Amino acid sequence: MSSAEANKVAEGVYWVGAVDWDVRTFHGYTYTTPRGTTYNAYLVKDEKLALVDSVYAPFTSEMLKRIRALVDPEKIDYVVANHVETDHSGALAAILSVAKNAKLVCNARCKDGLEKNYYGNWDYQIVKTGDTIRLGRNTLTFIEAPMLHWPDSMFTYIPEQELLLPNDGFGQHIASCERFVEDYDEAVVMQEAAKYYANILMPMSGLVIKKIEELQKLKLSIRTIAPSHGLIWRKPEKILSAYLRWAAGEAEKAVLVVYDTMWTATEKMAHAMVEGIVSEGVSAKITRLAVSDRSDAIRDCMLMKGILAGTSTINRGMLPAMVPFLEDLKGLQPREKVGASFGSYGWSGGGAEAAEKILREAGVKIVAKPITVKFMPSAEELKRCYDFGRDVASKVKE
């Protein structure tokens, strides 16, 4: 099979993106990408030629090479920008300098962003929801998706192929030679899709539900969902139903115990709590943030109903590793969580209370007052921690 055939997504539609095996962080170091990522661009080869999305600028030549294997890029008629963010628009200037007669198709908000990012003198064609461009056998249909995840975000749909190109929606950060979910490890894809949802889309969960319901009302037939990162879904119901669950705040009856410790006192408390949680038949996971991946912890928080945040006190506040995690959580606003805080102190307390304050601001329903211990926990205090874990587990089971 030729590489072009291996990258065939639908009749006349080809993946012409790039694989970034090396990227390890995204969005200003807030999101780790240990598996790398792809920047997916799609070429529609019809009577007219259309390129949907592009790639991050350092990968321009990789994309152009893939396009040249299929068509002469000078002959591209339309370049669609579903989203202004640089990882998808970085190669626009290069492709438009080759495809000199191409229209740059995007919505008004995207045009605004592209102008402010690139200052290009480009031939724009502004579209809105419901607008179409006929290419021959295939039609590009546009569906704006504001705040999923930027104001300019847009989906392109090709009804003749039952193909949805939703840009960042339904993506995962995975670098691979495979293009389709079924050719990869599906459990890994779902894990990465959950991490992506939790860290990028979770605060827009209400809009996610509305957009999926809108697609259902439009009765769009969708056989394939080809996002702008990672692998392509040929069984779209799996990711659509997962998005609806995550957006609704449905989670496993389990508790994430996330903490940091200075001289092990808070750690001992965390472990006693987990014993209490497990004794109630509820699962738990311990994550010490100083040695763990923060964006994985955000994913786990989304997937588990309960959260216990623990910290030793330093300077009347939290240990530094706790702060970015809880601040992220506050911004991401997870739904339907129950939780509490805990921690040790030496003279003045304050760490556990500071953690509780941010949990509240993140929308977590606080189900117990913070439990605190001076210096090392005694056997009696560890029993209190065990009971605290049991109490929280009983709330998670409700």
Binding mask 152-171 for ligand FEO (x = CB under 6 A): ----------------x---
Is residue 173 annotated as a catalytic residue, yes or no?
A: no
Q: Is 229 one of the annotated active-site residues of the chain?
A: yes
Q: Is residue 83 close enough to count as binding ligand FEO by CB under 6 A?
A: yes
Q: Which residue type is seen at 101?
A: N
Residue 198 Cβ vs ligand FEO, minimum distance, rounded to whole Å: 15
Q: What backbone torsions phi and psi does residue 330 show, to the nearest 5 degrees?
A: -60, -40
Write down the residue that tokens 């014993």 correspond to. 275
- Applying CB under 6 A, does 300 fall inside the site for ligand FEO? no
Please tell me the count of residues contacting ligand FEO according to CB under 6 A. Answer: 9
Q: Considering the complex, state which of residue 168 and residue 381 has its C-beta at the smaller distance from ligand FEO.
A: 168
328 binds ligand FEO (CB under 6 A): no
Q: Which among 20, 168, 300, 391 is annotated as catalytic?
A: 168
Residue 22: CB atoms within 10 A of its CB come to 9
Query: Which residues on adjacent β-strands are paired with residue 164?
Result: 157, 225
**Is 85 a known active-site residue?**
yes
Which stretch in 85-93, 108-116, 182-190, 362-370 sits in contact with ligand FEO by CB under 6 A? 85-93
| Residue 35 binds to ligand FEO (criterion: CB under 6 A) | no
Nearer CB in complex with ligand FEO: 88/384: 88
Footprint on residues 166-225 left by ligand FEO (CB under 6 A): 168
Dist CA 140 CA 215 (whole Å): 16
Residue 154 or 318: the one with the smaller Cβ distance to ligand FEO is 154
> Which one, 179 or 229, has the nearer CB to ligand FEO?
229
Q: Which residues contact 203 (CB under 8 A, 6 or more apart)?
A: 331, 332, 333
Q: Near ligand FEO by CB under 6 A, which window of 83-91, 108-116, 291-299, 377-385?
A: 83-91
- 159 vs 143: CA distance, rounded Å: 12
Closest CA to 94 of 126, 120, 68: 120
Query: Which of 87, 144, 192, 300 touches ligand FEO (CB under 6 A)?
Result: 87
85 binds ligand FEO, rule: CB under 6 A? yes
The single residue listed with the structure tokens 């894809």 is: 189
Q: Please enumerate in sequence order all residues whose Cβ is within 8 A of that of 209, keeping only pairs 6 or more positions apart, or say none.
A: 244, 247, 248
* Six-digit token string for 21: 């095996």
Could you tell me if 227 and 174 are in contact, meaning their C-beta atoms sit under 8 angstroms apart? Answer: no
Residue 131's H or E segment, with its range, is none
Q: Which of 224, 228, 295, 372 binds ligand FEO (CB under 6 A)?
A: 228
196 an active-site residue? yes
Residue entry with tokens 């995975």: 174
Catalytic site residue from 20, 53, 77, 85: 85
CB of 54 to ligand FEO, least distance (A): 11
Q: Is the peptide bond before 83 cis (omega within 30 degrees of 0)?
A: no
Identify residue 232 by its one-letter amino acid code: I
Catalog residues that contact ligand FEO under the rule CB under 6 A: 83, 85, 87-88, 149-150, 168, 228-229
List, by residue number, the catalytic residues.
27, 83, 85, 87, 149, 168, 196, 229
